[in-house]
Structure 1
Amino acid sequence: MKLIIDTNIIFSGLIKDSITRKILLSPNFEFYTPDFYNIELNKYKTYILTKFNGTDKDLDVLIELLHDKIVIVVEKEYSDKMEIAEKIIGKIDPKDVPFIALALSIENNGIWTRDDHFNKQYKVKIYSTVDLISIYNGKIEQKE
């Protein structure tokens, strides 16, 4: 299953050893995120470390592990879809425009996010963590 992943999911996986982290590290999923993620990680890394159960070095190792699993897509790969993405979600949350643009630019099954406002648009399928847990546990058949 190929998903665009929202920054809030990645941060959840970094902060806590949870089912979210297990899904992020699972070989059954491919994850993509816009390079806007790098800005957010730099901005919130100190905060993440305060919530993380480990050392700065432990967090860096985990970030490296996740970066081996998550493809960070440069803006030029989805920039041609930014205008349409702006129309779809820009008025709801401008920070989410790159995620919609990326979803419109590459073949994927949808976006995994905790932000309910993504459900106010209908161009891209949205998956919650509950949805992904069900897929991970084999309770819902994933669509390729």
Structure 2
Amino acid sequence: MRIVIDTNVLMAGLLKDSAVRKILVLSGNEFFLPEFAIEEIKKYEDELLEKSGYDRKEFKLIVNNLLENLRIVPKDRIKESMLEGEEIMKTIDIKDSSFIACALAIDADGLWSFDKYFKKQKRIRVFDIKELV
């Protein structure tokens, strides 16, 4: 399946060797990440380092390993679907409309997020971890 992940899923995969990380690396699904999410990881790198207990070198290795297993969707490709994404998310949480736009842009089978409010929209299927194990 082709699945867009949100930033919280990526962060969970970075923080510890967990089911999330195993799913991202070993499940056989194609996982996609909007390009801007990498910028968010860089922005919160110090906080993630502190929470994870990894040193900077270990953390970079984990980031690189996870990113090797993800397909990065460029901003320009997502931009084409932003208006539709915003329309879908306008009454839910417009700040996360880019994840919906990304799923639309790549014709994804769904979105993986820990944020339950994504399920309020009906356009894009939303997976939880139990469905991906």
Same topology, TM > 0.5: yes
CA distance in 2, matches of 1:130, 1:16: 18
CA distance in 1, matches of 2:5, 2:122: 17
Flag structure 2 segments of 5+ consecutive residues without an equivalent: none
- Aligned to 2:17, the other structure's residue is in SS state coil
**Percent of aligned pairs with the same amino acid:** 35
TM-score (norm 2): 0.94
Give CA-to-partner distance per residue, 1:74-110, whole Å, 9 cap, x none. 1111211100110101332222111100111113210
* Aligned position for 1:25: 25
Please identify runs of 4+ aligned residues in structure 1 that moved more than 6 A: none
How far did 1:43 drift? 1.6
1:105 aligns with 2:105: yes
CA distance in 2, matches of 1:95, 1:33: 16
CA distance in 2, matches of 1:50, 1:130: 28
* Aligned position for 2:57: 57
TM-score (norm 1): 0.87
- Aligned to 1:91, the other structure's residue is in SS state coil
Structure 2 letter corresponding to 1:35: E
Structure 2 letter corresponding to 1:112: W
- Aligned to 1:72, the other structure's residue is in SS state strand
